[in-house]
Amino acid sequence: TKMITTNEYKDVIIEFLNNSNKKRIIFTINSGGQLYPSFNFPVKPRTKVAYFIRNTIPINLTDDNMLDSLMIGDLLPNPLANLSVLCDEVFFPLLNNTVNQVGWTSVIANDMKTESQEMRNGIAQMKGLVINRTIFPLPICMDEVMQAAPAIATGDISVVNPLMKHSLEFMVVK
């Protein structure tokens, strides 16, 4: 409520909503602990940053089109954490989706799976070094592991296939 009652901040929000040529609005917390809007990303954010970016310019925002017209997201103040999220939520699914692998040989598909896992492992290792802890990245076959977990918990290890076993062992050994 403090943000909206501050005229300067309220004007920034209103300008973004009313000016169809304003590309983005960024929300962050200043040194006084107050949420504030800006049109530019902070150089060195100390807290999480939320952003709203218009998909196309110019576009008038309405209640009906707001969710479809804006790219909404947040960034962590730690660049390594952002890289980890980018890798886990964009690169890894993109490279390992079978729809995107149409026309690839099995060698290339397997190589991409291995290399993308190596990238995830490297990022996890670097994050661990920065915070002085050991961090294990999620294995390639996480979905299979989650599906097999109830059976494994009851002692049925027949659901563990060689690829899953190799992936889990590789994650720990690496």
**HEC letters along 43-105:** CCCCCCEEEEEECCCCCCCCCCCHHHHEEEEEECCCHHHHHHHHHHHHHHHHHHCHHHHCCCC
Instruction: Using alpha carbons, select from 48, 72, 122 the residue that is nearest to residue 92.
Output: 122
CA angle 111, 117, 119 (to 5 degrees): 105
d(CA 80, CA 142): 22
User: Which tens digits make up the pLDDT trace of 71-95?
Assistant: 898 888 888 888 888 888 888 888 8
Phi and psi at residue 54, to the nearest 5°: -65, 135
pTM, whole model, 2 decimals?
0.59
- How far apart are alpha carbons 107 and 150 in whole angstroms? 32
Q: Tokens representing 61?
A: 């925002």
pLDDT in tens, 108-160: 988 888 888 888 888 888 888 877 887 777 666 667 777 888 888 888 888 88
